[in-house]
Amino acid sequence: MPAVPEKLQMQHLAWRAGFGASPAIIEDWTHKKRRQVISKILAGPEKDVQTPLKVRDVSDLPDRNKMMSPEEKRELNKMNRQGVKDLNLQWMNEMVQSEHPLREKMALFWHGHFACRTQNVLFNQQLLQVIRENALGNFGELLTAVSKSPAMLQFLNNQQNVKAHPNENFAREVMELFTMGRGHYSETDIKEAARSFTGWAYEGDGSFVFREKRHDNGQKTVLGKSGNFNGDDVLKILLEQKETARYITTKIYRFFVSENLNEANVNKLADKFYSSGYDIGALMQYLFNADWFYDASLIGTRIKSPVELLVGLRRAVPVEFEREEVMLSFQQVLGQVLFYPPNVAGWPGGRNWIDSSSLMYRMQLPKMILYEKEFNITPKEITPEMGMGSYKVTMELNESVKKQYAKKIKGVINWNALLKDYEKVPREKLADAIAGSLLQANKNVSKQVLENYADASSRENYIKTVAIAVMSTPEYQLC
Amino acid sequence: MLILNRRSFLQVGSLASASMMMPKFLKAFEKDNLAPPGNKVLVVVQLSGGNDGLNTVIPYRNDIYYRSRPTLGIQREQALSLTDEIGIHPALQGLKGLYDEGSLAIMNNVGYPNPDRSHFRSMDIWQSASASSENWTDGWIGRFLDAQCKGCDKPVQALEIDDTLSLAMKGDLQKGLAFKDPDKLQAAANDRMFKELLGKENSGHPIEDDHAPVDYLYKTMGATMSSAGYIKNQFKAYKTKELFPATDLGKNMQTIARLIMSDISTKVYYVSHGAFDTHVNQLASQQTQLKRLDEAITALTRELKNNNRFQDVVIVTFSEFGRRVAQNASGGTDHGTANNMFLIGGGLKKQGLLNDGPDLVNLDEGDLQHTVDFKSVYATLLKNWLGADDAAILKKQYEHLSFV
């Protein structure tokens, strides 16, 4: 097998550990030691201001209480929905602009792993912060913080998990989806773990509270260990299981490396993860430094998720949209709306992203955005989770959303960076250079094809139109 | 003798004239692969948002019904009477006509164990046909495609009339195709650059090996492009004569009617209607939605009858859940559980009310208890109507019912 060119390797790293990087950065990386580049990617910029993403304060929203009239509740729900939209857009922007893209990429992974739906914007905001803060930290700490977040406690019904009536949902999902995966515990383990989590709850303001009176203080046996366990004890026991390290690294492998598992390499990652005491940063460092990570068979084989596609596109060509909400519409028609995972298992990913319509939209997307074409696609009726007893008027929402479509996408497109990237490339090599830096796989995108769709009236127009053409190919869906 | 293979037939046969010129024996010969008249077709109508089943099929002799719904209950004299016990919503006049002529069946109390009252979760359960404790990433019609369509060069066996594709239509290997307007689909897929990229692959050699993701993408692109042209040609071949309502559902039903009447090999059509999430002021909004449903279905059935195709088509409706028995304080109803399904067609083996109406006495915390698993309805349609291996598709053997 021919050796993978250094430039392609660095582009591979930039895409897998982030959302792609400009030719200038790639060029810089190829002159450095790989190990140093990776350390820098993990550490982020020197002055890494880890600003929490915040769209609402507690004081911005009225407290939900039983005395509220249906109109007041409706108003509150509306405020929450708008808040979640704002949070979505702010996070998208962070992914586009962040100087520490690996953290956002990792957070995106955890956002799917710890899949959760809540209509409360403050709960969403808090959980997102937990995930971003701990994205490259310690998995045990991340797991604990997520498990104590009001969003997750609410979503998995632990408010209802009390000594007199244990609710197993939380314990089941923690074991099945967050730590060990199916097949490594019994139904009895779940029941016993659920008893241990009794009393884990949150206050009206979202702060975690342990309600001792509702906690089952008896003896429990979980995965062969016995004691008067509480929730923290159970999480500790779950982390002691090697299966947990294996389950998490398998998912990380699928997300960062390939859908096709290489057992030997997954085992190496799992061992490393377990022996490090679940250090996520160390795991990623080991992964990105492994020679097999740059194997030709892995490069350009990952289907970008809709969010990765959109962020990558905006990183390549910065656009300031007149109506930023258009990002939400794109997420919707392409099948990945942040904060609305399809179910507790998160987005399935891989080939599940692709069907006839979604592929056509993906390939039309660069033209729609960069030529300001009309966007005439209506997503499915929107019925986000509203929970029992809420009185959201879905019909009104749907009507207003429908009106948003069939509008032109307007924005200020900043081509400067892209034009500068290629200023030293001679005209006859431009098409290949642009394709070479925007694509990680190439089947049929040739200079000859691109020439046919390029505007050759000026060098500037040529670069722009070739870039748009390259981004409108099946190959651009891959990284 | 000239034996047309499937692909060259489709290329020729996509022109109506060529299809009509075809000798009869050849049409018979094609019967197993293609879709000659007589092809059994299923039209799935999803009522999104949770349609209130109790105000759709109304138990107007039941006091509990009126006690639970002091202002929402529909009076006996307003309901369209089916039997002494049961009537249907006054907006469903066309369906009442279909009932009277023996082309409508109603399955009551359909649901599943451990019902989930979240829209998105319950809809996924209905679309994937999983148990409520499982999360499946493929849908029941998609898996029908997987079983039906090995080696198909055009994924047109199942079509969704919408801009985006539902989970129900996604198989593990094959996926259905979604579009609202065949012309727009063709315009999008017929991009010159896409054609040129496809290059060699377009010249009648679809990519067989899609192991590499890039090949999978090219294969999907190629299949979409060839299907788009094929669908558009089929669509052009027939124009409806009935008046279809100008609603979204009406237009979508008209598209379905035109395609059914063509030679297209589609077995399943999927279309969504609604917002049925009637937490507030239900009376007016459900009336509007059901009227649109009734008018669109009526137009489709008339078109089918006029063309002697009604006996080849079954229309089935479902919603992700029914609603609570008792009305709420806002003139609406909240999320519930079991619901009814309509089955419409000229070829039903059983008509009318297929089982007893809901039991309003034995509720589960205020909700109806299901007596029929929806997967049994799917199994029956798959096995008895579409001739497919239902146990493989549903990954379990469910009881077969006898309505088709």
Element (H, E) at B313: strand B313-319
Question: How far are the Cα atoms of A62, A266, B28, B146, B185 from residue B254, in angstroms, in the given order?
Answer: 48, 52, 28, 27, 16
What is the tens place of the pLDDT at every residue in B25-62?
Answer: 333 333 333 344 568 999 999 999 999 999 999 999 99
Nearest to B280 among A356, A391, A474 (CB): A391
What is the tens place of the pLDDT at every residue in B306-339?
Answer: 999 999 999 999 999 999 999 998 899 999 999 9
* Structure confidence at residue A369 (pLDDT): 86
Mean pLDDT value of segment A280-295: 98
* Structure confidence at residue B25 (pLDDT): 35
Whether residue B118 lies within 8 A of chain A, CB to CB, comes out as yes
Shortest Cα–Cα distance, B29 to chain A (Å): 31
Q: Do A381 and B48 touch (CB under 8 A)?
A: yes
* Structure confidence at residue B17 (pLDDT): 33
Name the 3-class secondary structure at B272: strand
Which of the two residues, A51 and A14, has the higher pLDDT score? A14
Nearest to A343 among B121, B194, B196 (CB): B121
Query: What residues have CB less than 8 Å from B41, skipping those under 6 apart?
Result: B260, B266, B267, B268, B269, B312, B313, B314
In the predicted structure, residue A379 carries a pLDDT above the cut 90: no
Q: What are phi and psi of B21, to 5 degrees?
A: -75, -10
Tell me, letter by letter, the H, E, C secondary structure of A248-267: HHHHHHHHHCCCCCCHHHHH
What is the tens place of the pLDDT at every residue in A150-182?
Answer: 999 999 999 999 999 899 999 999 999 999 998
* Structure confidence at residue A3 (pLDDT): 85
* Per-residue b or e along B378-388, where b marks 16 or more CB atoms closer than 10 Å to that residue's CB: bbbbbbbbbeb
* Structure confidence at residue B210 (pLDDT): 74
Which of the residue ranges A229-233, A325-329, A335-339, B91-95 would you say has the lowest mean pLDDT? A325-329
* Structure confidence at residue B177 (pLDDT): 94
Best to test chain B binding among A368, A390, A395 (most B CBs inside 10 Å): A395
Q: Which residue has the tokens 């998208």?
A: A92
User: Hey, which residues 69-98 in chain A have their CB within 8 Å of chain B?
Assistant: 70
Which of the two residues, B139 and B12, has the higher pLDDT score? B139
Mean pLDDT value of segment B360-370: 94
User: Hey, which residues 236-265 in chain B have their CB within 8 Å of chain A?
Assistant: none
User: Hey, which residues 380-439 in chain A have their CB within 8 Å of chain B?
Assistant: 380-381, 383-395, 398
Residues of A with Cβ-Cβ distance to B270 under 8 angstroms: none
User: Hey, which residues 58-87 in chain B have their CB within 8 Å of chain A?
Assistant: none
Residues of B with Cβ-Cβ distance to A67 under 8 angstroms: none
Which of the two residues, A429 and A382, has the higher pLDDT score? A429
Nearest to A419 by CA among A463, A382, A363, A354: A463
Facing residues of B159 across strands?
B177, B269
Nearest to B152 by CA among B264, B279, B312, B293: B264
* Structure confidence at residue A102 (pLDDT): 98
Going by pLDDT thresholds of 50, 70 and 90, the confidence category of residue A76 is very high
DSSP sequence for A271-293: HHHHHTTSBHHHHHHHHHH-GGG
CA torsion angle A176 A181 A183 A187 (round to 10): -20
Nearest to B330 among A70, A342, A356 (CB): A70
Q: Do B166 and A380 touch (CB under 8 A)?
A: yes
User: Which DSSP state fits A453?
Assistant: T
Q: Do A449 and B196 touch (CB under 8 A)?
A: yes
Element (H, E) at A220: strand A220-222
* Structure confidence at residue B30 (pLDDT): 34
Query: What residues have CB less than 8 Å from B5, skipping those under 6 apart?
Result: none
Nearest to B219 by CA among B173, B171, B168: B173
Nearest to B330 among A379, A383, A391 (CB): A391
Going by pLDDT thresholds of 50, 70 and 90, the confidence category of residue A401 is very low
In the predicted structure, residue A336 carries a pLDDT above the cut 90: yes
Residues of A with Cβ-Cβ distance to B169 under 8 angstroms: 355
In the predicted structure, residue A394 carries a pLDDT above the cut 90: no
DSSP sequence for A55-78: S--GGGSPPP-TT--HHHHHHHHH
> How many CB pairs (< 8 A) connect A and B?
152
User: Hey, which residues 325-344 in chain A have their CB within 8 Å of chain B?
Assistant: 333, 335, 340, 342-344
Residues of A with Cβ-Cβ distance to B119 under 8 angstroms: 383-386
Which of the residue ranges A30-39, A64-73, A388-397, B371-380 would you say has the lowest mean pLDDT? A388-397
Shortest CA distance from A258: residue in chain B: B213
Q: Do A300 and B162 touch (CB under 8 A)?
A: no
Going by pLDDT thresholds of 50, 70 and 90, the confidence category of residue B78 is very high
Best to test chain A binding among B279, B330, B333 (most A CBs inside 10 Å): B279
| Cβ–Cβ < 8 Å for A478, B217 | yes
How many angstroms separate the CA atoms of A42 and A387, rounded?
Answer: 39
Going by pLDDT thresholds of 50, 70 and 90, the confidence category of residue B249 is very high
Q: Do A478 and B199 touch (CB under 8 A)?
A: no
What is the tens place of the pLDDT at every residue in A175-230?
Answer: 999 999 989 999 999 999 999 999 999 998 899 999 999 999 999 999 999 999 99
Whether residue A374 lies within 8 A of chain B, CB to CB, comes out as no
User: Hey, which residues 123-182 in chain B have their CB within 8 Å of chain A?
Assistant: 123-124, 135, 137, 155, 162-167, 169-170, 175-179
In the predicted structure, residue A30 carries a pLDDT above the cut 50: yes
Going by pLDDT thresholds of 50, 70 and 90, the confidence category of residue B153 is low
Whether residue B49 lies within 8 A of chain A, CB to CB, comes out as yes
Going by pLDDT thresholds of 50, 70 and 90, the confidence category of residue B347 is very high
How many angstroms separate the CA atoms of A311 and B184, rounded?
Answer: 27
CA torsion angle B96 B98 B104 B110 (round to 10): -30
Mean residue pLDDT of chain A comes to 90
Whether residue A2 lies within 8 A of chain B, CB to CB, comes out as no
Shortest Cα–Cα distance, B160 to chain A (Å): 11
Nearest to A333 among B164, B189, B279 (CB): B164
* Structure confidence at residue B37 (pLDDT): 53
Count CB atoms within 10 A of the CB of residue B395: 15
Nearest to A147 by CA among A113, A184, A119, A181: A113
Mean residue pLDDT of chain B comes to 88
Q: Which residue has the tokens 């469903």?
A: B92
